[in-house]
Structure formats: structure tokens, C-alpha cells
Structure 1
Amino acid sequence: MSSQRRRKQFQPTPEQTALAEHRKAKKQQIITDASQLQSVAERNHTIPPIAQRVWLPVHPPSRVQGCQIIKICTWNLLAQCLIRRDLFPTSDCLKAAQREHMLYYELLEVDADIICLQEVDRLEKLLPILEKAGYAHHYAAGPGKKHGCLIAFKKKLYNVLASRPVEYDTQEIRSDGNENARRGRSFTTRNIGSLILLESKIKENDGILVATTHLFWHPKQAAILFREVLKFRNDACCEGWPCIVGGDFNFAPDDPVYSLIVGDHLLPEQEERLTTSQVVHISVDPTGIPTIGTDEENEEGLDPDKFIINARPATCTDGLLSLTELVDVFSRLPQIKSVYDEGLGGIEAINRPRTFGHRVPISLTRRGRNEPEYTSYTHYWKTVLDYLFVLDPGDRPSKVIELLAPHKEETLKPGLPQKGVCSSDHILLAAIVCWEDPLH
């Protein structure tokens, strides 16, 4: 009897056969879509589906031998699951079918070695495109979120040595008090940072730490991110590797958090602005009585990653970092540089495109004035939110070789996303950066 059972072959039912055929056809369609979208640049070479941008030379490397040269980009894709018509009343390409070919074209046209993406969803469409273009990837999302952060890298250049997610809501910022006080939470955001160590396939014992994030506007999250970046690098004994942190930080260059990151002292008006973050949202303390904002005040265009409503003033038992503590946390970090602020600042003024400092007064002695004029431009908000930051090894300072030129404001009107311009409400940032080997 047992011998007969072994000889008996499995016979699928008609329903199972049909299901298998359906899955096979769906997989083949994904591959076909990837192939078609991969070649969109060639098919539409004469009429690009996006506004064209040029690369700006900044500091040509003095030599190539002994240099670690990386082309990297960061981009908030605008997750399809987050799109609402009322947030983008002037946009003409909010449906996936209208946007995605533009998105893939722009990603592939940059030809970056490393790609940092935020608000990534519809992975079943994106991943085949990246795979066909020669990229591997690492994806991470906050608990319960339908979109996340993705780091892609050219398979011929790197291997993943290690990865680490950072859930901001669960990170501790002090050792005393109860759990809430140790975490010092102001808001339950479910936001994360995604960190990976990429080992070079070209040069032995060389590599780079890459981090990407989509921050909630709050200084604590930025402090945690850079703290964990350094800890991750040190834990892996890779102190000689540079770090690049790209993402949507949800603060502008004149914001106190930006100043804290790049090492500028806080201005009095920035200190006053930080006091507005000393609140506890109802998502952390449901028993609290909302005193700042109401649901009715959540008007069109109000971005939940930049504004806190339904919150109460914080007390000392909530554990939020004081102004003095915040300054102390950031002061312990090594020098952090913005690639675009350094790069655009290194271009002669006569050749330099308009920057953030052209429309917002920032002292010549302070950093941030040379960030792009805009990195997010919609009907309701027009600002700078996206950055590429670098942390150099002590003996290998970075040099910006080239930058992808920011869009001019007239190109972005009346607001992104826009057919023939850009598929997201954010602008892709890209740069070529090098670190020279001190031994050469």
C-alpha cells in the first residue's frame, strides 16, 4: 500500500491549474512591464517625459586613482496610497498610470550607484524595474505603514554587509524615568530610518554606510538618526568608511534642526521655534486634553509630518529633551555636511543657480543658504525638505565633484506632480562625491 502511495502522482484540479496559469501570466506581465519601462528612455529620447536637468561641475578630483567616487541620489517618490486630489489641486498626473513611467525614467536616467527613496509603495511594479537595471535593494517600513524607505545599489559595485532599522518611536533618549520618559515621545509617528553598510566589490576593505529616512518634524528624530548612524558604523568596526544620509527631513535650511545638524549655533528666533515642539500628542497620551489645534483646524494642505495638532504642553515627567539637552546631543556629533549646500556654494556666483538664500535671508556666516531654492513644490507648500548629508572619516574629507542642477521655479509652476516635469511632489537630488585615500 505504501509503495502504491509513493507511485501515485499529484493531479491538480482544474481550479488549481487555472490559478497556476493566472500566476504565471501575472509574473510574465510584470517582467514585460519592466522591460517596456526600462527602455522608455530610448523610445522617447526625442521627447523626454520629464523636465531635463544638467549636471553642474563643482570640484573636479585632483586624481582618480585612490579615490572613492560615488554617484548617489535621494528622492521622495510620493506614495500612491497617500495621494489625495484635494492636496494637489493643480496637478495633472495623480493616477499611477500617469505617473509611473515618468518616475522610472527619472530614476534610471540619473544612473546613480546608490539610490535612497522614501514613500515607496507598489513594490511589485518598482522592483522589477530596479532589478532589470542592475540594482539590488533593501526595503524597510514603519509598523503598519503601507509605504517605506528603500535603498537600491548597483549589484556589480556592492554587497550588503549589514543592515539596521531605526524605529524612532521606540528609541530611548535618556536612562531615567518610566518608559515614556526614557523615550521622550512627543508624537507616535511610526517613522523609521533605514541603515545599511555596503561593502565594495571593487576595493578590498572599503565601503560606505548609507542611511535614508522620512522624518517627522521634530528635533529628537534627527538626533536619534545621526546617533544611530555613528553607532552602527562603530559597532561594525567600519570607522574608516564615509556615511551618506539622504531623505525627506521635513525641515527647511533656516530651521533650528538644520542648524543643529550642521553645527551652527541657534539664533534666538530658532530657540523660540523649538519651544513649539515641546508638546505631547494625543497619540502618546490619550488622556491629555488637546490644547494646540483641533480637528477643524486640520485644513487643506496641512502636512501631518510638519504640524502637531491635538496636543498638550509637555511636562517634565514626559521626558522630552530640553533645549540645553538638544544642543548637547548634537554637539557630540562629528561634523556633518550638506552635499548641496557645500556643492552649490562652491560654484562661482555668476554660474550658480538660484538657491534657498535668494528667497529667504540667511547670513553669509551661516550654513544652508546654498541649498536648492526648492525641493518640494506644490499648490499648498513650496519649500526645501530634502537633503544629502555626509559624515566623513577623520582622514578622508569629501569633495563634491558634480551636482544635478535643481529645477527653476518657473518649471515647477503651478505645482508638482506635473506631466512633462516631475512625477512626485518632491525633486530628486543627486551628486557625485569623492573621498581621497590619504595614502596616495
Structure 2
Amino acid sequence: MATRRPIELTPEQLALSEARKAKKLKLSENPPAPEPATNLILSRPWISLNSDPEPGRIKVHTWNMLAQCLVRRELFPTSDCLKAGQRLPMLHAELLAQDSDILCLQEVDNLEKLLPPLQSKYTTHYTAGPGKKHGCMILFKKDGFEKQSERLVQYDQEEIRDEGSDAFRRGLSFKTRNIASIVALKNRSKSGPEGVIVGTTHAFWHPKYTYERCRQVGIFKREVGKFATEHHLEHWPCVIAGGIDSIFQVQSPVLTRFLDFNFGPDDPAYSLLMSEPLTKEQRERLEASRVVHVSIDPTVPPTTSGPVGDDEDQAVDPDRVITNARRATPSDGLLTDDELVALFALGKPLKSAYDEGLAHPRASASDIRTFGDRVSCEPDMKGSNEPEYTSFTFFWKTVLDYIFVSQPTVITGLLAPHRAEHLGRGLPLKGICGSDHISLSAELSFSNKGQASLD
């Protein structure tokens, strides 16, 4: 029997074969992002605020994803998708649905399962506080941006004064291990800004620690400005997104009343960010929270039999009161109201994408309910046009999430918030949303032409 001679490939055929092998290898290493399964989540319309087709717009998305390590059945008694396997496809669908250029995410964990469908399209930048099981992440399109520089802000270590003891310079009321993440993204496109500075944070959650939350948000704003100055990027626009987050965790599954803490647009941190004067009630809340926790001063005698957690994954006081703390003294260095105002004055002036966008006539005509429709406040109060809710569960319903942009950025479009009647008795819910928070998305323009068309 004659031996079959091996087929000899031409140079062109060999080159084609090698190209196919390289393509298969690349696909195996970077699988294409799946098309979002829109039936897994409730779709939302896009609100167009400017029809000008001028290029260079950037779509920014923010979302508190509800870290899997924080999920407890007693916290979400009406939810039907609390297991990781149920939530993960819904999380991916939400992240991919808007084809956003930049995503700012909070409460991110399970990275080994979360990232694979995103890595072919996005570069990821993940940071977490010391010992935290979840963190913040910024994603940006690979073909749109490249990271030029970065900074991690650890609130516990940041100083607010230039003199005195370590404690006095920091002015801490509670060691929280919370952080902020800042990156400078250089625009690969010839249209739009040269680059953009993006920051995201997850501020201290405890409802009663108003001062500490304000301290953290003020430091965040200051550090974004310092970051721009140090890298000679003052001409780049800034986008900071995330949540002035507060959450009530219950130790007992037996709790039937609805809770709304309203730590949102009426919070002192929001007013300070918007350069609004503090109200009498806000000043009283700040003063009541000027305490020093045992995590700062170990000599503080305990006032509760159980441990007070410094993170969402630990048991906390169910009565939502300050425990294991003493009143602050001048030597502790906590900022006064006037000093807080001065801290927030550092960095570029900011505005809220949703507060400004939903106030626009073309947005208000869409019959979207806002925070001002739900809470009695002056119609011209900054924050009254934020979404009605951004966190919606059986036990707590409030506004916690925002997209803030530097002036004179123009908001050209918004992702419509979910309507409360679509959210059942509380998120997460199958076919609606895989988190207890609602994602927000804004399309931004940085051109003078766009500014003129909205003024």
C-alpha cells in the first residue's frame, strides 16, 4: 500500500493558518462580551436633552451593585434573586445594557465571576479599603481611553489640618476603612475633551454619623482637585460618581415597618457639595454627630453589650443611635460647620447630572417623579430634581446615588430612573434589577456649543 504524501501548504496557506490560530487564541483569552439579555432586567427609556449630533459625548454609568458578601435574607425578605448564580446574569445585563464609555461601581466583589464578560470591551481599575471584602471599580472602554494616572484615597489616613497631633490633623470621628478611587483617563478619540478625571467612592453608611460622612465627601472633592493640579490636568473635566451611602441593617428578621432615612439630597454633604448654605436642621444633625468612636479612642467605655460594626457586613445597633462614643472635644480636631464649608470649597464647582437634567422641560414632560415630589421641600432647592428613589428595598427606600460633574459640562441625556410602582415590595427582583440600588447613567458633552443650546 502506497504511503500518502503529506500535503504541502503554500506560504499563503501557512500564513492564513497561523492567522486563524492567532485569532482563536485571542478569542480564548479575551472572549467577546455577550449581548445583554434584556429580558433579565426591566428596560428603561433614554431621555434626550439635546439633539445636537456633535461628536465627543461621553456616557457615564454609576451603580452600587450590592456586594454578594453583604446579602442577607433577613435584609431582603421580599427578594427572589439573592443567590450569586441568580444575580450575576442580571448584573451583567445591567452593566452592558447602556454601552457606557465609563462605569463607576461600588460594592464590587466576586471579581473572578464578574469580570470575564466585561474584559474584552473594558479596562478595569479596582480598589478596596484595608480588609474590606468589597470595593470600588472604574471601568472604561479600551478603544476610548487609556489610564494616565491614578490615586487611592484612604479617608482614615487623610489629614484636614496642617498642625497638631495626628488625631487633631485628621479630625476623625470613626475609623471606617472607606476609600475613594480617582483616575485620569486620556481620550483616544480626536473628538471631545483631551481627557477626563473620574472618581468614585462609597462613603460611610451609618445614618447617624453625619459629620464623618461629610468629612469623607469633602476630602473626596478636595483630592480630585489636588489630583488635577498635581498632574497639570486642571483643564480636564471632572466626573465623580457614587453614593453618600447609608443603610440600616437589622439583627432580627422580624421588622415590618418601612424606613426612609432621607440621607440624600437633604443631607448636609449634598448641600455642601452644591455650595448651598446649611439649614438649621442640617447644622443640628452635624453637631449631634460630632463624637469620637471607640475605634478612635480605645478608652471610650462601651454603651452596648454587642459589637458595633464598622462595615455593612457586621452587626450594628438596630435602634440607629450612636453608641460606643463620647462627645468630641476641641483637641480631637473635628471640623466646625465653617471649616466644613471651607473644605468643600476646594476643587472645581460641581453640579448634579440628574438634578439639572430632570429639571429641564424636556425631561419634566416625561412625567418622572423626583425627590422633590416625594419630600416636602422648596422647588428651587438643589437636589429636589434627583430621582424619587435610587435605593429601594422592603426596609429602606431613599436616594443615595449621584453623578456629579464639573462646570460647565452639559448633560445631553439621562437614563430614566425606575418608577416606584415597577419595583414591587423591594429590590433585588427577577426581571427588574439585580441590586438593591438603581443604576444611573448620563450622557455628557464638554463643548461650548452644547452649553449654548441648553441655556
Could you tell me the TM-score, scaled by structure 2's length?
Answer: 0.81
Q: Give the distance between the partners of 2:365 and 2:282, measured in 1 at CA.
A: 31
1:224 paired residue number: 219
Give the partner amino acid of 1:321. L
Distance 1:303 1:344 in 2: 37
Kindly state the Cα deviation for residue 360 of structure 1 after the two structures are TM-superposed: 0.6
Structure richer in helix, relative to its length: 1
1:346 aligns with 2:382: no
- Seen in structure 2, the aligned counterparts of structure 1 residues 366 and 297 have a Cα distance that, compared at 3 Å, is same
| RMSD, matched Cα | 2.7
Query: 1:239 is matched by which residue type in structure 2?
Result: E
Give the corresponding residue for 1:365: 380
Aligned counterparts, 1:125-274, within 5 A: 125-132=113-120, 134-203=121-190, 206-217=194-205, 218-250=213-245, 251-274=263-286
In structure 1, what is the Cα distance between the partners aligned to 2:422 and 2:405?
29
How far does residue 87 in structure 1 lie from its aligned partner after superposition?
1.1
Aligned pair in 2 of structure 1 residues 333, 365: CA closer, same or farther (>3 Å)?
Answer: farther
Match of 1:380 in 2: 395
The counterpart of 2:343, out of the listed 310, 326, 329, is 329
Residues of 1 paired with 2:103 and 2:315: CA distance?
Answer: 28
Q: What SS does structure 1 have at the residue aligned with 2:270?
A: helix
Local SS of the residue matching 2:437: coil
Candidates 41, 44, 49, aligned match of 1:53: 44
Separation of aligned partners in 1, 2:395 and 2:315: 5
Q: Contact between 1:279 and 1:313, CA under 8 Å: does it hold in 2?
A: yes
CA distance in 1 between partners of 2:126 and 2:345 (Å) = 31
Deviation at 1:248, TM superposition (A): 1.7
Q: Distance in 2 between matches of 1:433 and 1:265?
A: 27
Give the aligned partner of residue 333 of structure 2: 319
CA distance in 2, matches of 1:34, 1:347: 43
| Cα distance in 2 between the residues matched to 1:178 and 1:169 | 15
Residues 181-228 of structure 1, C-alpha deviation per residue, up to 9 Å, x if partnerless? 111111111110000000011139800000011001511000100000
Find 1:105's aligned residue among 93, 98, 101. 93
Distance 1:125 1:171 in 2: 33
* Inter-partner Cα distance in structure 1 for 2:383 and 2:142: 34
Deviations along 1:315-346, one digit per CA (max 9) or x if unpaired, are 11111111121122223443210000010011
Change (3 A) 1:50 1:273: same
Where in structure 1 are there 5+ consecutive unaligned residues?
A: 1-27
Rounded Cα–Cα distance in structure 1 between residues aligned with 2:222 and 2:302: 32
Residue matched to 1:22? none
| Percentage of matched positions with identical amino acids | 49
The one-letter amino acid of 1:150's match is M
The 4+ residue runs of structure 1 with deviation greater than 2 A are 30-35, 38-41, 293-304, 306-310, 331-334, 347-352, 437-440
SS at match of 1:130: coil
Partner of residue 94 from structure 1, selected from 67, 79, 82 = 82
The separation in 1 between residues aligned to 2:317 and 2:31, in whole angstroms, is 33
Check conservation: 1:71, 1:112, Cα contact below 8 A: yes
For 2:129 and 2:379, how far apart are their aligned partners in 1? 39
Aligned with 2:115: secondary structure?
helix
Secondary structure, aligned partner of 2:436: coil
| Farther off after superposition, 189-198 or 173-182 | 173-182
SS of the aligned residue for 1:345 comes to: coil
Give the equivalent residue in structure 1 for 2:292.
280
The CA deviation at 1:232 is 0.3
TM superposition shift of 1:310: 2.3
Distance 2:307 2:297 in 1: 20
Which consecutive residues of structure 2, in runs of 5 or more, have no partner in the other structure? 1-24, 206-212, 246-262
Report the residue type matching 1:328 in the other structure: A
